[in-house]
Chains A and B, each alone.
Chain A
């Protein structure tokens, strides 16, 4: 199979943005194309979770291609709920590895902050099993159910899940692209408003606007996609026998490691899907980066902070960088590309191999990508 390389990476600052989604995507795409020194890609893969409802626009492949001045370049749109960004990277990877194209632009984003929070919550909630939604289940509600079960079964405490927020805010304070660039204290997290018991406001990622883009090609570049894998789980949470780990992540990680030909022991930096802070701890164990039921301990010990043994979410993660849905999976790979190239100013870590993990829906469609510096 042909190797696939990352030739260019770019993203907008995440947060509350006045620009339209096509403008945000254009900003990210032009940075990535300029970074790669490429004027025109062979194809475009667009990731957007639900622009139809957030902004009222559809036909997103064509809309973005035309908006970028590439109206004759083949474009498709990819969607797997909140992991759409990484699904788009996979789609581009597959097209390149199969020899269909030599250069593909991947761009994803979401525009949400112009809507009231209950409306945003309702639109994101469409990715939940319809029966479970009739019980008033929202993403925080399901995350609350998972967190309580995980706290019972895995020895996770309130302090451990709060420390993830403290760490990721501290990282975000060093990232000019982050939605939140201010640190928070452990007390502030533990005393923030209750959302879905035991989850509090500061355990949850914000609603953000933003876009991220990558240029992938078959010609050699500084960073290679060493492996990429997908994992699935039933959309219904009640169909799962275990709430305390995500099968979809475990399967995706196995596939990615198999493709890469190495295991978690070579990973030196990770970007994981901390939409709710306990998910960072669950994800570290599901990807094999941390032994079972040790994620809380290593977090309290500072091993996952910048400067620690395995820096996790040096960008600030979804918690502090923000979570513009379909931008997220791409922005994780943008961050790792910068980290591996040594250009992550203010938050640089020492690493040759990075892992990105993205969760779609309530962990129904997850992805793991491994990057390696050549």
Chain B
């Protein structure tokens, strides 16, 4: 199941969003305000650590995920097989540790349906999404 939102914080001056919530904006000496961001985003980068520090299982998968609200998160993952930079993932908060997982078909569909209210828009959005996916797939094949 996809968690809907994650706790973050926003700078009242520059609107920058960071997660998890921080006391001060990294760019201004201004206290940040509580904010919520959708728990879905795109993989910015990922790595697999083969000799992780004490207390972590090897291999250790770490990813940076950019959430739709703009904040970037460090996450753990069960695996990175099939993951690419730009892959759509959902993020789950388990005891204050973030985990990313590839979004399955059912997750994507559920999310898609929830976001596109009217039937006409749904059809248009499906078309758009298909075309976008097709072009993204094409552009990634280029070296």
Which residues on A are within 8 Å of B, measured CB to CB? 118, 121-122, 125, 131-132, 134-138, 140-141, 144-146, 148-149, 152, 193-199, 234, 236-240, 243
Contacts and interface: CB of A to CB of B under 8 A. Distances in A.
Interface stretch (B29-37, B40-48, B106-114, B117-125): B40-48
A238 B74 contact: yes
A294 to B, nearest CB: 17
14 contacts: A118-B53, A122-B53, A135-B62, A136-B56, A137-B74, A145-B47, A145-B64, A149-B45, A194-B50, A197-B48, A197-B50, A234-B26, A238-B72, A243-B64
Q: Which one of B26, B72, B74, B76 has the greatest number of beta carbons of chain A within 10 Å? A: B74
Given A118-B51, A125-B53, A148 B72 contact: no
Given A125-B53, A145-B47, A196-B49, A237 B20 contact: no
A195 B74 contact: no
Given A234-B26, A239-B18, A144 B85 contact: no
Interface in B86-118: 97
Given A145-B45, A234-B26, A238-B64, A138 B53 contact: yes
B73 interface: yes
B73 A238 contact: yes
A136 B53 contact: yes
Contact of B52 (A138, A148, A243): A138
Given A136-B62, A238-B74, A243 B53 contact: no
Interface string B54-75: 1110001010100000011111
A196 B64 CA distance: 14
A134 B56 CA distance: 10
A75 to B, nearest CB: 33
A236 B26 contact: yes
Contacts of A136: 49, 52-53, 55-56, 60, 62, 76
Contacts, number: 88
Q: Which one of A122, A140, A152, A196 has the greatest number of beta carbons of chain B within 10 Å? A: A196
A239 B51 CA distance: 25
Contacts of B60: 136, 141
B72 A146 contact: no
A181 B20 CA distance: 46
A196 B44 contact: no
B14 to A, nearest CB: 12
Contacts of A144: 47-49
A270 to B, nearest CB: 27
What size tier do the contact residues of chain B reach? 20 to 34
Given A131-B20, A237-B64, A239-B18, A148 B53 contact: no
A149 B85 CA distance: 8
A240 B52 CA distance: 24
Nearest to B57: A136
A148 B61 CA distance: 13
A132 B85 contact: no
B43 to A, nearest CB: 10
B26 A239 contact: yes
Nearest to B54: A118
B50 A148 contact: no
A194 B51 CA distance: 9
Nearest to B140: A152
Nearest to A244: B45
Contacts of B44: 149, 243
A71 B56 CA distance: 46
Nearest to A241: B72
A122 B50 contact: no
A132 B62 CA distance: 10
A278 B26 CA distance: 27
A148 B84 CA distance: 10
A202 to B, nearest CB: 14
Given A137-B62, A239-B26, A145 B46 contact: yes
A243 B46 CA distance: 12
A127 B76 CA distance: 21
A141 B62 contact: yes
Interface in B1-39: 18-20, 26
A238 B73 CA distance: 6
A25 to B, nearest CB: 29
